[in-house]
Structure formats: C-alpha cells, structure tokens
C-alpha cells in the first residue's frame, strides 16, 4: 500500500459517508410518499397511473407484489431479446450490425434484466445504438428499480405490524425511476461527458494515424474459421493499416446508470477501462462513489423507515468494515510485482501493471475492483483475469460473500437483512431464546425463506462450476493453463449466480453452452432470492410488533455488528473455501514457491 | 395475474420511452450544448485534419516515436473496434514470452537501454487503447529517439516534462503522458 492508496481510500470513505446520509433520507421520504418532490412530479405520476390503469392508493400483498415484479422483468427480457434479434432492420444502426445469435441474445437479455450485466458479446462490434439504448439502458434503470422496490417492500415488512400489504409495485417502480435514478443519472452523465465520455449518434469515425501499423492478420477459410498449420498454430498473412476506426455512440447516458444502478455492463468490451467510458482518474473516482452511493444510502433509508436510525448505521458499519479490509488486501496484492516478470528485467516497483490502465495505476484499479465486486456492479477498469493470484482472489471472494457488502442496489441490503435475521437466529439458539429482529419474532417460516435466499446462489455457482469442468464444452472456453483456468470457470459461475457480471474475461463465454448455463445461474440467482425475500416481507408485515424487553438482543451495537460480519464471513467460507483452495490459492503457491 | 398484465405492459412501455429514448436524447442535446468536443470523441486535429483522439491511443513501433503501452487487441494492436486486454494470468508462460519479446524489441532499438524496464512499457493495458504512459516510460525512450531524430536529449526531456500531467487534482490516478500528443509535438519540433 502506497501513501497514495491510503489517501485514496480515506477520501473515498469520507465522501461516501458524507453523501449517503442525505440521499438515504431522501429515498426513504420518496418511498413513503412524504418527500416534497412528489408534489412536483404528482401530475406526471397521475398521468402514468391513469394510462396504466393503476389505483395508486391500493396496496398489494406479497404474492401480487412478487408476480408484478416477475411479470415486469419477464417483459423486459422479451424486449431485450427481441431488439437484438431484429436490430438489423431497425433504425439507429449506423454500423449495420447484424442480428445477434439466439443464444447470445438470450444470455444478454437475462443478464441485463437480472442486474448482472455479464457480457458474452463485445458491445462495439455487436450492438446497434438502438439496442444499447432501448434494450440495455432501459434495463439498467428497471433492474435497478426492481432491486430497490424489493428491499423497500422488505423494510415495510419490518416497519408495519399486523398488515396485509407491503406496497404497490407499480407506484414503487415509478417513483424510484422518476425521483431517484433518473435525476442522479442526468447529473452524472453530464459530469462524465465533461471528463471526455462520448455522447452522440454518429457513425464510427475513421482517422489516419501518425504511423503505419504492421501486423499479422489471421487467415480464415471460406466458412470464416481460422486456418491452422500442421502444429495447430494459426496461419497469418502480413498486413498493414494506417486507419484507426473510432467507435461512437450514446455512451455517457448509459455509463451513468450502469454505475448508479450497480449494473456494470459496458457500452464497450473493455468496460470502464475504455477511455471513452471512463476517461480520467477523477471520472474513475466518481464512478467508484456512484457504485456504493445508493446501496449505502439504502441502509440509512432502512433505519429511517423502521423508525430507528441506529439500525441503519449498524448495517452500514458492518458493510464498511468488511469493505475496508478487502480494499486494503486488493491494493496490497496488486502492488506486488509478478516475480516471473521481475526476473526478466521488469521494474518491480510499479506493481502488476498487466491489464491495467496507466491513468489509474495500481491503487485506483485495486480499489475499483474491490468496490465493483462487493457491490454487485461488475464494471471493471482493469482486467481481473490478469490480477495476481491473491489479488484476483479478492474480487472472487467478494462475490462469494453473496453481494451483501453494499451489494447491488436494493439486492445488497435485502441480502444483508437476510443475513441479519440469520445472525439473530444463531444468537437466539446460543442463549435459548426465540430470536427477534426489530420487534418481529423469527419463526420457522422466516428461517425457511432465509435459508433458501442464502443457499440458492452458492448452489448455482458451485454446481455450475462442477458441471462445466466435467464437460468438454466447459473446458473448451478456458484461456489460461493450470489452476488459473479452473478459476476462470469458478469466477464465471460465481459472478453470474451472484448477479455481479464481472469476469475473468479470458474465458470464451460466448458459446451456446456458457450462454445458456450462465443465463440459468443469473435468472435463478436473482429471482430465486427475490421471491423468498418478498415472502419474508409479507410474513413479517403480518406479525405483531413485540416491545423490547431486558432479554432482547440490541441490534444496533458493536456486538451485533460483529455477529453480523461473522455470519456473513462464516457462510461464505463454509461454501467456498474448498473451491478457492483449488484455484487462486494453488496458483499463488506455484508462483511464489517455485520461483 | 391478468389484472397485473395491463399495468405491467403499459408501465414498461412508458418507462422504456422515458429512460431509453427521452433520457439519452436529452443528454445528447445537453452534451452538445455544453461539451461539444468531448461528446464527439475528443478528436486531435493537426492542421485541419483529425489524426486521432486524445483519449484513444495509437500504435507506435518506429524508433523515432515514443512507444505507448503494448496493446492486446486483435488482429492489429490499438484496434479501436475491439477493445480489451490480454487476459493472460500471472503464471501463464505466454505472458512471460510476450514481455520478453517487448523487452528485446526495446533493447534492439536502443542497445544502451538499461534494465529494469518500466513496467507499463512492456505490459498490455486493460483497454488495449490506453492513451498514456508513465513519465518513467517516456524518459526511458529519450535516448533512442534523440539518436533517431538527431536532436539533443535535453530538448526531449523538456518536451516530456511539458507534457507530463500529475495526479488529477493532486489526488486521483497516476502521473501520465499522452503518447499521441507527445508524438505530434515531437513531429512539430523541426
């Protein structure tokens, strides 16, 4: 850790903690219908509700709420799939992009609807501007809104008592989009343009470069397959060019909500490493803040809505402590030099620069990697596949914690509240008392829902990995030999099941096998958690609120924070340590023991 | 279920129009009003013709130019239509081979080039389009360029110093030099 890295981390924490307070209060007031901005938007809202045939004052039980969310997201998946399959005949396609293959279109549709934003395709050579805007930008908003309304419903479950309903899904989705996501995105996208992010509808621009580039062009046969010689090496022809074709498009508007909604799907293949997405170190810093700001603010909105601000701060404190430790690890391990390269005569002082951008360097890349994987964002400003073994373990482990340390917008907090129930349950078992959280008795039904929500993602991640390493189609995607290749597959399924979306991107995942397998992991990793969480919300809302007694464990103090952190870490470790030992740990030992 | 279908479809369409058409269109209009150069891609114009973008690096392999970060894009380096990194793992022999090849190329172009070599000069960037190198990497190449162009090293040192950007606001990122701008300035020296 360099002094710069410490300064960066301290500054990040200070700004984050300063901003989440006001935003948390604002979100709580909007969702409770108390904020003054609702008066300005009231006319718009009324038109929306009348057109949709929604009676905004009528609330829903948990089952209707869940069906509404599923239906809304199912429609979104259909739309994204359809746009990709038809884009060739639709407008705003200056590069004449062809229609996307059915398996890739299916994967991308599920990926963006589930807030995963795993990308098997390369944006600049696959998607039309219309698909990017009307398909992907829209889902960047709506999947984020979905996450937030689900956690708001769960919070209402705690805040209400003997109630049958948990809110109106249509009103919640409309308000989150109109009053929270859209205004923040407008501000943020204009800031990004000021730094150099592009925003236009022009065709790609060809420029004549200063120097002629000579290169080897791989030969392809009539069917488009690469030609290989007797030894299996690709055959190439010498070629040269003095033209560089600069990609264009409405990038900044998508970039803003990509970060704010913890989506993470880049306009371009290189994602937030691309200079047109993330042009300057300042833009990078604000991108990092924008990932954590809504998940952090929601913790405080939670405290406000349940009528005890300390409850929100306790959850935020648990998240912040885990974040700081992981950030220090990532920045430390990436500051290490690769001994194999130092041996060849590369300056070790600069750290592991393979797959990193000069303007970000080690600290700003390591911190970004930590944030993007703790929050289920999945944007990358450096290539995680080229991280040092333990540097790459950090993002992988972060996702394995279940995306609850800040986590995705909404999904992070509902995941963490599920862990909080687990924590009070464990504590209750230890002292032999019926567990309670926020005055709600935790009984068998709640624990069943908690267990499903906690176990569904590790099941998908580990079963997916196990299946892939046993199948020829799974092995075929590996780019790096040895333990690292296993880590690539483990990372892919961990990322999709936990709806993160970042990758060890060497893995060739744009194949029918990976497109279908990861789509299954993403869909059930998302809705296999959302449905039990809403069931939990319904059951909690129906319960009476118990007054705290001398025997009630307080859930706002240091003891509870430690207990909550312990529960999260323990569940993560029990699920994943064997798999981690086979991947990055072995690789680390090989790199440093053998050399 | 059916009673949910109408609001689901209508709300989806309304929010799609709002966030997928109105919002990007409004941002484009505002961006063109306030930041036209950035919105169009920060093009670098020499004379009256664009030679590239300030933000997108170009490939340099001629000894008389400053070289940028190695680029792993394919088929050619700095292919702006196929951004991405090498994704080589730290233990992959292909990484060590590639780095060795780059060190050899640097030292072939300037036999007096010392070891160790600055790391960013021999490792591939994340985007494959990195426009910058570190000040160390720029200074490392001064001897070669001075010989190729028959200019005194002091002038090049001065040029490098003039083009060095520190951390943004003194706080963010790393000190860096834009390679394309540096090379355009280099061509203008004579």
Chain A residues within an 8 Å CB radius of B129: 270, 274-275
Residue contact B59–A209, C-beta within 8 A: yes
Residue contact B184–A250, C-beta within 8 A: no
Same domain, residue pair B75 and B95 = yes
Residue A262 near residue A144, CB atoms below 8 Å? yes
B127 in reach of chain A (CB within 8 A): yes
Mean pLDDT in each 10-residue stretch from start to end of chain B (190 residues)?
A: 90 97 98 97 93 97 97 95 96 96 96 95 98 97 97 96 96 97 92
Same domain, residue pair B36 and B63 = no
**Which of B26, B89, B123 shows the shortest C-beta gap to A385?**
B89
Q: Among residues of chain A, what percentage have pLDDT more than 90?
A: 92
Residue contact B15–A54, C-beta within 8 A: no
State the average pLDDT over residues A15-26.
97
A342 in reach of chain B (CB within 8 A): yes
Q: How big is chain B by its Cα radius of gyration, in Å?
A: 22
- Residue of B32, B46, B85, B189 to mutate when probing chain A, most A C-beta within 10 A: B85
Same domain, residue pair B129 and B176 = yes
Q: Nearest CA to CA, how far is A452 from chain B (Å)?
A: 25
A403 in reach of chain B (CB within 8 A): no
Q: Nearest CA to CA, how far is B1 from chain A (Å)?
A: 7
Nearest CA in chain B to A503: B87
Same domain, residue pair B49 and B20 = no
pLDDT at A582 over 90: yes
Residue contact B75–A215, C-beta within 8 A: yes
Tokens found for residue A494? 């961990």
User: What's residue B107's pLDDT?
Assistant: 96
Which residues 182-201 of chain A have a CB within 8 Å of chain B?
182, 185-186, 189-190, 193-201
State the average pLDDT over residues A488-506.
95
State the average pLDDT over residues A148-158.
98
Euclidean distance between CA atoms A26 and A34, whole angstroms: 9
A56 in reach of chain B (CB within 8 A): no
Chain A residues within an 8 Å CB radius of B115: 345
Boundaries of every domain in chain A: 205-246, 409-594
Euclidean distance between CA atoms A107 and A136, whole angstroms: 13
User: What's residue A218's pLDDT?
Assistant: 87
pLDDT band at A85 (very low <50, low <70, confident <90, very high): very high
Q: Model confidence over A217-253: pLDDT tens digits? A: 888 887 777 888 888 788 889 999 999 999 999 999 9
Return the HEC string of chain B: CHHHHHHHHHHHHHHHHHHHHHHHHHHHHHHHHHCHHHHCCCEEEECCEEEEECCCCCCCCCCCCCCCCCCCCCCCCCCCCCCCCCCCCCCCHHHHHHHHHHHHHHHHHCCCCCCCECHHHCCCCCCCCCCEECHHHHHHCHHHHHHHHCCCHHHHHHHHHHHEECCECCCECCCEEEHHHHHHHHHCCC
Residue contact B27–A215, C-beta within 8 A: no
Same domain, residue pair B19 and B94 = no
Q: Print the domain residue range for B36.
A: 1-40
Same domain, residue pair B1 and B45 = no
Mean pLDDT computed over every residue of chain A: 95
Same domain, residue pair B50 and B88 = yes
B43 in reach of chain A (CB within 8 A): yes
Tokens found for residue A268? 């371009």
**Which of A8, A170, A342 shows the shortest C-beta gap to B11?**
A170
**Which of B88, B116, B172 shows the shortest C-beta gap to A347?**
B116
ipTM value: 0.97
Same domain, residue pair B92 and B16 = no
Euclidean distance between CA atoms B72 and B83, whole angstroms: 8
Q: Nearest CA to CA, how far is A424 from chain B (Å)?
A: 36
Identify the DSSP state of A470: T
Chain B residues within an 8 Å CB radius of A48: 11, 14
Cβ-based contacts under 8 A for chains A and B:
392
Q: Nearest CA to CA, how far is A589 from chain B (Å)?
A: 11
Q: Nearest CA to CA, how far is A405 from chain B (Å)?
A: 24
Residue contact B24–A48, C-beta within 8 A: no
State the average pLDDT over residues A520-547.
96
- Residue of A56, A199, A238, A389 to mutate when probing chain B, most B C-beta within 10 A: A199
Residue contact A53–B168, C-beta within 8 A: no
Residue B42: φ, ψ to 5°: 50, 55
Residue contact B92–A480, C-beta within 8 A: yes
Return the HEC string of A351-419: CCCCCCCCCCHHHHHHHHHHHHHHCCCCCCCCCHHHCCHHHHHHHHHHHHCCCCCCCCCCHHHHHHHHH
Q: Model confidence over A320-376: pLDDT tens digits? A: 999 999 999 999 999 999 999 999 999 999 999 999 999 999 999 999 999 999 999
| CA distances for A154 relative to A305, A375, A532, A539, angstroms | 11, 19, 10, 10
Instruction: Indicate the burial class of A267 (C-beta count within 10 angstroms; 0-12, 13-18, 19 or more).
Output: buried
User: What's residue A595's pLDDT?
Assistant: 59
Residue contact B15–A141, C-beta within 8 A: yes
Chain A residues within an 8 Å CB radius of B32: 199-200
Euclidean distance between CA atoms A371 and A9, whole angstroms: 11
User: What's residue A594's pLDDT?
Assistant: 66
**Which of A182, A247, A385 shows the shortest C-beta gap to B23?**
A182
B115 in reach of chain A (CB within 8 A): yes
CB-CB neighbours of A87 under 10 Å: 26
pLDDT band at A551 (very low <50, low <70, confident <90, very high): confident
A345 in reach of chain B (CB within 8 A): yes
State the average pLDDT over residues A193-199.
98
Same domain, residue pair B94 and B160 = yes
pLDDT at A434 over 90: no
Nearest CA in chain A to B135: A358
User: What's residue A1's pLDDT?
Assistant: 86
Residue contact B12–A76, C-beta within 8 A: yes
Euclidean distance between CA atoms A408 and A413, whole angstroms: 8
B174 in reach of chain A (CB within 8 A): yes
Number of domains in chain B: 2
State the average pLDDT over residues A550-565.
92
Three-class secondary structure of residue A207 per DSSP: strand
Same domain, residue pair B53 and B134 = yes
**String of DSSP letters for A284-336:** HHHHHHHHHHHHHHHHHHHHHHTT-HHHHHHHHHHHHHHHHHHHHHHHHHHHS
Same domain, residue pair B112 and B33 = no
Q: Give how far the C-alpha of residue B26 lies from the chain's centroid of Cα atoms, to the nearest Å.
A: 29
**String of DSSP letters for A80-138:** HHHHHHHGGGSSS-TT-PPPPPHHHHHHHHHHHHTT----SS-GGGT--HHIIIIIIIH
Residue A452 near residue A460, CB atoms below 8 Å? no
Chain B residues within an 8 Å CB radius of A189: 27, 31
Chain A residues within an 8 Å CB radius of B183: 210
Structural domain ending residue among the three candidates B24, B40, B56: B40
Residue contact B60–A342, C-beta within 8 A: no
- Residue of A202, A280, A357, A478 to mutate when probing chain B, most B C-beta within 10 A: A357
Q: Nearest CA to CA, how far is B147 from chain A (Å)?
A: 19
């Amino acid at each position: 850790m360099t002094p710069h890295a410490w300064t960066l981390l301290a500054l990040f924490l200070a700004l984050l903690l300063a901003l989440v307070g006001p935003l948390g209060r604002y979100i709580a007031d909007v969702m409770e219908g108390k904020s003054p901005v609702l008066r300005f938007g009231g006319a718009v809202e009324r038109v929306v509700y009348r057109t949709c045939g929604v009676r905004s004052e009528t609330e829903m039980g948990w089952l209707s709420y869940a069906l509404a969310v599923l239906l809304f997201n199912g429609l979104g998946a259909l739309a994204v799939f359809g746009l990709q399959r038809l884009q060739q005949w639709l407008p705003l396609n200056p590069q004449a992009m062809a229609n996307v293959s059915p398996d890739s279109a299916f994967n991308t549709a599920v990926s963006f609807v589930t807030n995963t934003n795993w990308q098997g395709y390369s944006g600049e050579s696959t998607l039309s501007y219309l698909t990017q805007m009307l398909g992907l930008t829209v889902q960047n908003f709506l999947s984020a809104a979905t996450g937030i309304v689900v956690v708001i419903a769960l919070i209402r479950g705690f805040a209400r008592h003997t109630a049958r309903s948990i809110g109106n899904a249509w009103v919640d989705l409309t308000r989150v989009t109109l009053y929270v996501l859209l205004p923040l995105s407008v501000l943020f996208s204009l800031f990004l343009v000021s730094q150099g992010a592009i925003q236009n509808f022009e065709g790609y621009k060809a420029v004549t470069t200063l120097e002629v580039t000579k290169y080897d062009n791989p030969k392809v046969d009539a069917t488009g397959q690469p030609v290989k010689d007797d030894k299996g090496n690709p055959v190439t022809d010498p070629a040269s060019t003095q033209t560089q074709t600069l990609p264009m498009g409405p990038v900044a508007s998508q970039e803003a909500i990509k970060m704010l909604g913890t989506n993470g799907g880049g306009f371009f293949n290189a994602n937030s490493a691309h200079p047109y997405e993330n042009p300057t170190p300042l833009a990078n810093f604000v991108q990092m803040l924008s990932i954590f700001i809504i998940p952090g603010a929601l913790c405080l909105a939670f405290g406000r809505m349940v009528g005890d601000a300390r409850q929100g701060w306790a959850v935020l404190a648990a998240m912040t402590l885990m974040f700081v430790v992981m950030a220090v690890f990532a920045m430390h391990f990436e500051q290490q030099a690769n001994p194999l390269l130092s041996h060849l005569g590369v300056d070790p002082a600069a750290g592991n620069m393979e797959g990193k951008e000069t303007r970000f360097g080690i600290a700003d890349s390591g911190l970004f990697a930590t944030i993007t994987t703790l929050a289920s964002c999945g944007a990358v400003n450096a290539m995680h596949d080229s991280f040092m073994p333990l540097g790459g373990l950090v993002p992988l482990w972060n996702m394995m914690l279940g995306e609850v340390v800040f986590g995705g917008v909404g999904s992070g907090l509902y995941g963490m509240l599920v862990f909080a129930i687990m924590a009070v349950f464990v504590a209750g078992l230890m002292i032999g008392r019926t567990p309670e959280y926020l005055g709600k008795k935790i009984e068998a039904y709640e624990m069943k829902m908690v267990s499903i929500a906690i176990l569904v993602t590790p099941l998908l991640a580990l079963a997916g990995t196990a299946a892939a390493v046993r199948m020829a189609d799974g092995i075929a995607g590996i780019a790096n030999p040895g333990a690292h290749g296993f880590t690539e597959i483990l990372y892919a399924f961990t990322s999709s099941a936990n709806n993160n979306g970042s990758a060890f991107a060497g893995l060739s995942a744009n194949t029918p096998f990976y497109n279908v397998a990861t789509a299954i992991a993403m869909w059930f990793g998302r809705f296999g958690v959302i449905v039990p969480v809403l069931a939990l919300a319904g059951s909690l809302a129906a319960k009476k609120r118990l007054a705290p007694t001398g025997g009630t464990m307080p859930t706002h103090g240091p003891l509870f924070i430690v207990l909550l952190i312990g529960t999260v870490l323990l569940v993560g470790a029990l699920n994943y340590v064997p798999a981690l030992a086979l991947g990055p740990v072995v690789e680390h030992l090989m790199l440093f023991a053998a050399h | 279920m059916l009673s949910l279908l109408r609001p689901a479809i209508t709300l989806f369409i309304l929010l799609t129009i709002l966030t997928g058409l109105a919002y990007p269109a409004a941002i484009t209009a505002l961006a063109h009003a306030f930041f036209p150069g950035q919105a169009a891609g920060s093009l670098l114009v020499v004379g009256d013709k664009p030679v590239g973008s300030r933000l997108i690096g170009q490939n340099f392999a001629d000894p008389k130019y400053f070289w940028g970060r190695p680029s792993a894009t394919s088929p050619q380096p700095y292919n702006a239509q196929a951004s991405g990194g090498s994704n080589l793992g730290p233990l992959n022999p292909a990484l060590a081979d590639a780095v060795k090849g780059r060190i050899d190329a640097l030292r072939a172009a300037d036999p007096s080039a010392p070891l160790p070599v600055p790391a960013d000069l021999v490792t591939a960037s994340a985007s494959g389009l990195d426009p910058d190198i570190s000040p160390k990497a720029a200074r490392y190449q001064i001897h070669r360029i001075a010989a190729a162009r028959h200019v005194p090293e002091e002038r090049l040192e001065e040029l490098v110093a003039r083009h060095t950007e520190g951390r943004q606001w003194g706080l963010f990122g790393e000190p860096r030099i834009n390679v394309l701008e540096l090379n355009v300035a280099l061509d203008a020296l004579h």
